[in-house]
A and B are shown apart, each in its own frame.
Chain A
Amino acid sequence: MSERTIAVWQGKVRIRVLSKGSGPALVFFHGPWGLTWDPFLDELARTFTVYAPEHPGTTPDTPDDVYHLDGLWDLVLCYDELLKGLGLESAALLGHSFGGMVASEVAAAYPDRARRLALIAPLGFWRDSERVVNWMMLEPARMRAQIFRDPEGEAARRMFGGTDDSEAPAARVRLMWAMGTTGKFIWPIPDKGLKKRVHRITAPTLIVWGKEDRLVPPVYADEFAQRIPSARVQIVDGAGHAPHLEQPAAVARMVADFLKS
């Protein structure tokens, strides 16, 4: 795996990009809990050149860079500059949760940048009757239980570390800041107008949802499928809000098969 840091937004926002693999370009936008390189990305790197940028403010030693962005429009423009910085005219775009919303926004703003689009439990819409749970207001143990089908499983440990607190302060700071910097763009309700823009997406789109998602209920897959004409939905058994971590092999296969075709 290699890494490089690209400065965008007149040099004020520094974004570290982890990358690995060879083949067509795939850009992965991580969720609200920060970027961790995991077996799912490793699996994708067998087929693609995977680029995984860190959300502004979550790259080490750049916490305050996020203050240069006022809102979602600024963020989308930043990612446009980042793709330019990576030398990518277009790429397969993939995102999880908050990152799924970002990928959708980029694909709606710049339809030609998205060759194909895969969204894993993306945010972006809201139903009063099926509310997205605000994970930022949950005690750590409850947040885990809300995100993962198995809160004690390998996937949960990978995202949040073990239950013993030996590394707690640093890990807690990292997690809180990742949630804070992503939360800046979605508080208090993660519906920031994607419904007005989503029709602009032209890329063939795959929607992946964990069957037991207790954070963003799987009914939201319908919201995306209804609005993106080319979209098809795949529900993953044995997974909650992070199906790519709870069922990495299966989800990597379905995502890779879709994105390479």
Chain B
Amino acid sequence: MKISAFHLMPHRELPDDFEQRYESVWVTPPWWELADARRVGQYYNWTLDELIYAARAGFDGLCTNEHHQNAYGFMPSPNLMGGVLARATNGMNVAIVQMGATLPTSNPPIRVAEEYAMLDCISGGRLVAGLPLGSPMDVNLCYGITPMEHRERYREAFALTLKAWQAREIFPWNGRYYQLANVNLWPRPIQQPHPPVWVPGSGSITTFDFAVDNDVCYCFLSYSGAKSATTMMQSYWDVVAKKGREPNPYRAGFLQLVAVAESDARAEEKYARHVEYFYHKCLHVPGIWFSPPGNQDYRSLVASSKNPVRRPENPKDLRYRDFVEKGYVIAGSPATVRDRIKQEVIKNLHVGNLMVLLQIGSMPHEVALENIDCFAREVLPDLRPIWEDEGWVNHWWPERLRASTAAPRGASVAAAGA
């Protein structure tokens, strides 16, 4: 297993009545009423500190992602964060997992290819290149890309990126959306032929085909846990089988919210309000925004109208115990968390690249560090050997880090105070 710490960089102090007072956490939350730049500077630094702490505690990778006009995640440029993380973790066996910079919102998209190459150079070849399609909120609503062009632009930019990393000659790109007469990337990545590519998705069937055809790692970035993802991930594995690829668990990534403490009761006491904050405030977005007309192609539209991915239940009606029971968040004692992640997520979804979200919603810095530390000490070591006996190679992980295990354990707590 490879287990990475994921961070959204949320606003940690939204008002109690946020979801009653405002239309949405995304696209339209009013900055001047809700945020303060100095305080936000503190959030960014906490975020970086928490991820670096996770690296020292023995996680395999650090994940950041891109959102716009979003109070639950405001890293408009994940590569700025990635640059800091790459520099700060030099000498450690930790991957910089960019989940990542969004191609359709980068113009021209070779900007992403360039920045990823920089990160690969700075980190000494530790980059995982997440190439997300980007959410409709970010790409269509905030950045004005026509929903119907979103996937086409992405696919063109994806092909351009892969070619730009690898081409030995300067080449022209005469595309439908992008025209560049002299593509000649400086720098190029250390990893050859290119860094491992992960493609995050949210269950669209055309993305399954795309991921398998391009032989990338498909990552389901879910906030609803493994139970509700079972059918969807099974359809992904069906596509893998149908296209004649091996069922290598490292072809799949999954994001799981996790909160661990000494006991189940202690976890509830410690984390309940942060979990509820996350699901009640951070996911406060009009449902219709997730699928603006034209964003899904016709085939996916027909499929999803018959079998909607989005669950009918409203998270705002649920409380901590519901979220835990339904597996949205896996929380409790180390034993509880270990068993549930192993059975519900890793085995059930057949996943080799696990991402865990450990700073959840309003969770303060110190509590986040405790969650990271407890997970790294009590849970992670038991999960890491899963799949080892089956002999799969993680082709979707930086080659120089494939064999590595945790950073030396003793380093973590002492170094964290630095």
A66 within 8 Å of B (CB atoms): yes
With beta carbons under 8 angstroms apart, the residue of B148, B302, B305 that contacts A183 is B148
Report A59-70 CB contacts with B as 1/0, cut-off 8 Å: 000011011001
On whether A136 and B144 interact (CB within 8 A), knowing A63-B298, A70-B176, A176-B301, the answer reads: no
How many angstroms between the C-alpha atoms of A70 and B306 in the bound complex? 30
B172 within 8 Å of A (CB atoms): no
- In chain B, positions 267-306 with a C-beta closer than 8 Å to chain A are 286-289, 291-298, 301-302, 305-306
B141 contacts A180, CB within 8 Å?
no
- When C-beta atoms are compared, the residue in chain A nearest to B292 turns out to be A136
A188 within 8 Å of B (CB atoms): yes
B64 within 8 Å of A (CB atoms): no
A187 contacts B147, CB within 8 Å?
yes
How many angstroms between the C-alpha atoms of A239 and B140 in the bound complex? 31
How many angstroms between the C-alpha atoms of A184 and B147 in the bound complex? 7
B148 contacts A180, CB within 8 Å?
yes
- Closest CB in chain A relative to B24 CB, distance in Å: 10
How many angstroms between the C-alpha atoms of A183 and B150 in the bound complex? 12
How many angstroms between the C-alpha atoms of A98 and B152 in the bound complex? 23
On whether A183 and B293 interact (CB within 8 A), knowing A137-B141, A139-B288, the answer reads: yes
Q: Output the residue of A64, A137, A181 with the most chain B CB within 10 A.
A: A137
A177 contacts B298, CB within 8 Å?
yes
- When C-beta atoms are compared, the residue in chain A nearest to B148 turns out to be A184
On whether A139 and B293 interact (CB within 8 A), knowing A169-B305, A183-B146, A188-B144, the answer reads: no
Q: How many A-B pairs fall under 8 Å by CB? A: 70
With beta carbons under 8 angstroms apart, the residue of B144, B294, B298 that contacts A184 is B294
How many angstroms between the C-alpha atoms of A64 and B151 in the bound complex? 13
Report B129-170 CB contacts with A as 1/0, cut-off 8 Å: 000000000001100111111001000000000000000000
B147 contacts A183, CB within 8 Å?
yes
A139 contacts B286, CB within 8 Å?
yes
B301 contacts A177, CB within 8 Å?
yes
B305 contacts A137, CB within 8 Å?
no
B293 contacts A66, CB within 8 Å?
no
A169 contacts B306, CB within 8 Å?
yes
B140 contacts A67, CB within 8 Å?
no
Chain A residues, CB < 8 A from B296: 176
On whether A137 and B289 interact (CB within 8 A), knowing A169-B306, A180-B147, A184-B149, the answer reads: yes
A173 contacts B301, CB within 8 Å?
yes
Chain B residues, CB < 8 A from A66: 148
With beta carbons under 8 angstroms apart, the residue of A63, A64, A136 that contacts B293 is A136
- Closest CB in chain B relative to A191 CB, distance in Å: 12
A138 within 8 Å of B (CB atoms): yes
- In chain A, positions 159-180 with a C-beta closer than 8 Å to chain B are 169-170, 172-173, 176-180
Chain B residues, CB < 8 A from A187: 140, 144-148, 294
Chain A residues, CB < 8 A from B291: 176
A-B pairs with lowest CB-CB distance, top 6:
A180-B294, A179-B293, A180-B293, A63-B298, A187-B146, A184-B148
Q: Could you tell me which B residues sit within 8 Å of A by CB distance?
A: 140-141, 144-149, 152, 176, 286-289, 291-298, 301-302, 305-306
